[in-house]
């Protein structure tokens, strides 16, 4: 955690996840009936706490399809997503 002045702090959150699909799941989302690793996501977030109540959180996520059948289904199997969240706690 880093401090930005008297009242603001910043931290770095790192997350990763892998999805394993059943035949029904993979058929619904990707169009093939088989067990297997479906996709993964790597995420970075930078929560900036401005006060006891307010947090601004920019995020960047990288997603990719792992299964070769799923990768062939989509023209863009790898994606980068950006976002910003604003949280008020009371």
| pLDDT single digits (tens) 16-70 | 999 999 999 988 988 888 888 889 999 999 999 988 899 999 999 999 999 888 8
Helix, strand, coil tally for the chain in percent (to 5): 15, 55, 30
Q: Which residues of 35-65 are buried (b: 16+ CB within 10 A; e: fewer)?
A: ebebbeeebebebebeeeeebebebeeeeeb
Residue 26 structural domain: 2-88
Helices and strands: H and E segment counts in the chain:
2, 7
Domains in the chain: how many in total?
A: 1
Residue 5 has pLDDT above 90, yes or no: no
């Amino acid at each position: 955690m880093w401090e930005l002045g008297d009242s603001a702090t910043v931290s770095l959150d790192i997350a990763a996840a892998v999805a394993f699909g059943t035949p029904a799941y993979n058929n619904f989302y990707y169009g093939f009936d088989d067990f297997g690793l479906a996709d993964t996501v790597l995420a970075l977030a930078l929560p900036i706490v401005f006060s006891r109540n307010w947090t601004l959180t920019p995020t960047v996520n990288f997603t990719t399809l792992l299964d070769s059948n799923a990768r062939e289904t989509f023209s863009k199997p790898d994606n980068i997503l950006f976002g910003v969240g604003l949280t008020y706690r009371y």
